[in-house]
Chain A
Amino acid sequence: MIELKSLCKSFDGVPAVRDLDLVVGRGEFLCLLGASGCGKSTTLRMIAGFIQPDSGSVLIDGVDVSGYGPDARPTSMVFQDYAIFPHLTVAENIEFGLKAQKLAKDERARRTEEALDLVGLTGLGGRRPNELSGGQQQRVAVARSLAIRPSVLLMDEPLSNLDAKTRIQLRTQLREIQRDTGTTIVYVTHDQEEALALGDRIAVMKDGSLEQLGSGHEIYLAPSNGYVADFVGITNWLAGEYAGGSDESWEVNVAGAVLRATPASTSSSVSPGSPVDVSVRPEDVSLSEEDAPGAGVLRGVVRDVQFLGPVVRTYVETGGSVVLVHSAQSGWSPGANVRLSIGEGAARAFRRVEGAWRPPEAAARPVVAVAAS
């Protein structure tokens, strides 16, 4: 179990991690997700003991490890560039940490075999690192770290140097290994898909602070702010104004038409006329004939249809902006006039706050509603 308590770290006066509080449970797979430069690696390195925090503390299994070097912490790091020792064989690499634990020779050999089996490299112990593919090297790195049975396995974008196929293959393998060994993992990535695929929980970071912590479901379906909604998955942004409603459901004026949207936070300071951004996932939008009964309130023109296999992307221009629609099939062709309807409870509303994150301008231009035209 790891506890981070108000962790702070600055480099040359520029804060990299600000006041971070986080608890990772035993056996949990936690993903630290965020754009490049948001302080994920710095956080991980403070857990590993590579960097000492300016203030705050790191507790591992209840013990405050501040001041412990990396060699004294029960953590192990898997690096982005593998950091396999090029002068040692695969088996020697795995034994490297076992020797430091002063284990007997046969115990070392047993654990090395075990670790190789675990990552699916049985029989490759005698190879040199430069005889292995990138994916195999990274599996050696994982085996090397797992062999010393750390309380926590730390992984810093371990798959980002690999090609797409290997990446997905290793993801699955990693989940299995974690389930089999029950190791606690803190996994850093900037790839939201990877985070969703791997993490029991995801911690979304931005500019050194925690934006939201929750399961993939929560993060994706109930993002607590606009940044998280935009960063995780794809979303359409509609700009509007608060028109009324309860704490559970707002009515938002989007260029004249009224949309129902779930507010991300219950806020007493919102009043009619306050600017609001509405986020709608592409798969929550459906299209229908222009004059079909019970169709949605927004009207648009199909601009482009892209067939991607499992999903069809339809770009619909509604007034000034383009809304992306995901569906399993699409009978539409460019030029068709359509209406857009949004699934029940699928729209999320975020009150626009001065100085806070805002959706990119172009995406947030008001769409022209049917009612207005």
Chain B
Amino acid sequence: MPVPSTTQQTVVPEERTERAPGSRPDWQRRSRRRLLADRITVGTLVAYVAGLLLLLVLVPTVAMLFEPDGEAWSRLAEPRVATAAKNTVVIGVASTLSATVVGFLFAYALSRPDIRGRAVLRVMALLPLISPPFVVGLAVLLLFGRRGLITHELLGLDISLLGLGGLWLVQTLAFFPMATLTLLPTLKNIGSTLEWASRDLGWTWFQTFRRVTLPLAFPTILNALLLVGMFVITDFGNPVLIGAGYQVLSVEAYVQAVGRQDFGMAAVLCVLLFVPTLILFLIQRRVLARRSAVTVSGKTGSLPPAPLPAAVRRGLLTVLGLVSVLMILIYGSILVGSFTRAWGADWSLTLNHWQTALLRGDDIRNSALFSATAAIITTISTLVAAYVVHRTRVFGRGMMDGLAVLPSAIPGTMIGISWLLTFNEPPIALTGTALILVLVMVVRAIPVGYRTAVTTINQISPSIDEAATDLGASRARVIVQIMFPLLGGAFTTSLVFGFLHAINTLSAVIFLTSPGIGLGAPTIVNLAEFGQWGAATGVAAGLMVVSFAGLAVAKLALGSRLRLYDL
């Protein structure tokens, strides 16, 4: 229809010329104002996130690299450094392998509906995730130590499990849940159809496991190995408690820093530990990136997984049953220990340790209070960071993304020592304050909080905030009225995660507590080192009660919306 189009062509330019320059239409002026407001909003958020990450993550790390002088670096050649490095590698490799194997068995059992007692297995895998890892070490000290209940009292032996063997057992038990947590979604997702297809094509259960299940789970197994490896080689609590003479890098660094006040040497050891951790971390990021490209296609449908052969099921249940018994012994001994007058000498019951723990409850109270504060700061900061990185186009997003996940590659010992060095004197003198403890907890909790936040933000379709913007909402309004309400459940979940990470952290805070302001976790280790096991278990039990109480409150408030650990 040529007639209307010609009239339109003549009308439009006329309208334009009619308008006097300067008197812009209303909507244009409004949109200019909003553009400015949006810039201010985004600018503020970026400044906050960048400032936080630079100050708390980048500055201390870089500062520490410049601490050691040439002489300190030259001491890398000392035999005790080589021994510590070798020990770290040995225990790291051994416990990473065993923890991943045990974790795989748990995940495999949890992914099979024909395994009974999965509820019990789930609790066993959950306990080490929500309590401090060093509690396992403390318990092994009580059970298998020189005056241990099992080694000394029951078996009358004079030997102990301290050293490499005990540490291996402890790290396996303390860190297998990390592997379980990583592997379970994949094992569930591999899908019954593919396994059925293999059975249908003539292979037995075992061959199906070898030819289908294992190869498909392989990238995730690799991921679990790397993750567990990072935790094991940087762990501090367990080696310091039961390593005995078996010195690893994190403990050696602690000894140099706290025992000998030799910060140069401590920094050198930290860097030595940081390098392999960082490498594992970088490999893990690549593995994760590649895995997302090769997702498993077999959907589960209504076809239930193939039942396990009876012998396999029995074998699996026997192994997992044994592990579960050990776990019950471990957490039970902490509980019993906290009511026992003097472990190994006087087995009468007492409430003294609980009284002490409560009377000297400052440490536990500080732990609870600081962790809660840190959790709130972490949750808000990581949500803002995730928003800035994934929903804006500002410069330096990649850098911020990297800095937000980097702390998971920094050994806790290194964070502790680097903070001690960086924040000890002006311009930022924080040591001895409560603030430094809260902030270091924030740093420890940031990576996991950030990952949760990114997942959540990415679940909110960009078209939702585009729609809101399109309807005339400013950035600030989109954030407050669209993002916040949609993030509700994830916000609480992230809070609980942050809280648990903060309250259970040991290696970073042990350098930063001061006589006036103590925390539960370092107190437990100090008490245990002096053989005050009753008091140590009392504080440990108290700390766990606080964690569980926090968890229970969140569970009550959120019910099934609290998706904490999907086991």
| Chain A residues with a Cβ under 8 A of chain B | 41, 45, 48-50, 69-71, 75-77, 79-87, 96-97, 100-101, 129-130, 144-145, 148
Contacts and interface: CB of A to CB of B under 8 A. Distances in A.
A83 B294 contact: no
A81 B298 contact: yes
A45 to B, nearest CB: 7
Interface in B163-209: 191, 193-194, 196-204, 207
Nearest to B218: A87
Contacts of B207: 100
B294 A77 contact: no
A1 B193 CA distance: 25
Given A45-B303, A50-B306, A83 B298 contact: yes
Contacts of B198: 85, 96
Contacts of B461: none
B216 interface: yes
Nearest to A95: B201
Given A81-B297, A83-B298, A85-B212, A71 B197 contact: no
Contact of A85 (B197, B204, B294, B299): B197
Contacts of B202: 71, 97, 100-101, 148
A81 B215 CA distance: 20
Contacts of B203: 71, 96, 100
B299 A50 contact: no
B297 A70 contact: no
B294 A130 contact: yes
6 tightest A-B CB contacts, nearest first = A97-B201, A100-B202, A83-B197, A83-B193, A70-B199, A70-B200
26 contacts: A45-B303, A48-B200, A49-B200, A50-B200, A50-B306, A70-B199, A70-B200, A71-B199, A71-B200, A71-B204, A75-B200, A79-B193, A79-B196, A81-B297, A81-B298, A83-B191, A83-B197, A84-B297, A85-B197, A85-B198, A86-B216, A86-B294, A87-B216, A101-B202, A130-B297, A148-B201
B215 A83 contact: no
Contacts of B294: 86, 130
Contacts of A77: 196-197, 200
A151 B301 CA distance: 26
For B204, B207, B297, the residue with the greatest tally of chain A CB atoms inside 10 Å of its CB is B297
Interface string B270-299: 000000000000000000000000101111
A50 B301 CA distance: 14
A320 B186 CA distance: 58
A70 B200 CA distance: 5
A97 B204 CA distance: 11
Given A86-B297, A148-B202, A79 B197 contact: yes
B348 interface: no
A45 B192 CA distance: 13
Nearest to A76: B200
B6 interface: no
A85 B197 CA distance: 9
B297 A82 contact: yes
A83 B199 contact: no
A69 B202 CA distance: 9
Contact of A81 (B200, B201, B301, B306): B301
A76 B211 CA distance: 18
Given A41-B302, A45-B303, A100-B207, A86 B296 contact: yes
B492 to A, nearest CB: 34
B214 to A, nearest CB: 10
Given A41-B302, A86-B216, A86-B296, A81 B193 contact: yes
A77 B200 CA distance: 7
A108 B516 CA distance: 76
Contacts of B296: 86
Contacts of A145: 201
A50 B302 contact: no
Contact-residue size bin, chain B (C-beta under 8 Å from the other chain): 20 to 34
Given A85-B212, A87-B215, A129 B197 contact: no
B301 to A, nearest CB: 7
Contacts of A130: 294, 297
Contact of A50 (B201, B204, B303): B303
A138 to B, nearest CB: 12
Contacts of A85: 194, 197-198, 212, 216
Nearest to A81: B299
A164 B204 CA distance: 37
A146 B196 CA distance: 17
A129 B297 contact: yes
A100 B298 CA distance: 21
Nearest to B294: A86
For A48, A82, A101, the residue with the greatest tally of chain B CB atoms inside 10 Å of its CB is A82
A85 B199 CA distance: 13
B216 A76 contact: no
A148 B196 CA distance: 16
A80 B201 contact: no
A39 to B, nearest CB: 12
A145 B194 CA distance: 13
Nearest to B198: A96
Contacts of B212: 85
Contacts of B306: 50
Nearest to B193: A83
A32 B226 CA distance: 49
A80 B196 contact: no
Contacts of A50: 196, 199-200, 303, 306
A86 B295 CA distance: 9
Interface string B355-375: 000000000000000000000
A80 B301 contact: yes
Given A50-B303, A83-B193, A85-B194, 18 more contacts: A45-B303, A50-B306, A69-B199, A70-B200, A71-B201, A71-B204, A77-B200, A80-B301, A81-B193, A83-B196, A84-B297, A85-B212, A87-B216, A96-B203, A97-B201, A100-B202, A101-B202, A145-B201
A301 B203 CA distance: 65
A41 B215 CA distance: 28
B55 to A, nearest CB: 44
Contacts of A101: 202
Nearest to B216: A87
A188 to B, nearest CB: 13
B472 to A, nearest CB: 40
A81 B302 CA distance: 12
A100 B203 CA distance: 6
A76 B199 CA distance: 10
A51 to B, nearest CB: 9
B205 to A, nearest CB: 9
Contacts of B204: 71
A79 B201 CA distance: 12
Contacts of B191: 83
A83 B194 contact: yes
A41 B302 CA distance: 10
Contacts of B215: 87
Interface in B44-79: none
Interface string B500-517: 000000000000000000
Contacts of A76: 200-201
Contacts of A97: 201-202
Contacts of B298: 81, 83, 86
B204 to A, nearest CB: 6
Contacts of B200: 48-50, 70-71, 75-77
Contacts of A81: 193, 297-299, 301
A83 B191 CA distance: 9
A75 B299 CA distance: 22
A346 B387 CA distance: 68
A85 B194 CA distance: 7
A86 B299 CA distance: 12
A41 B193 CA distance: 13
Contacts of B303: 41, 45, 50
Contacts of B201: 71, 76, 96-97, 100, 144-145, 148
Contacts of A45: 303
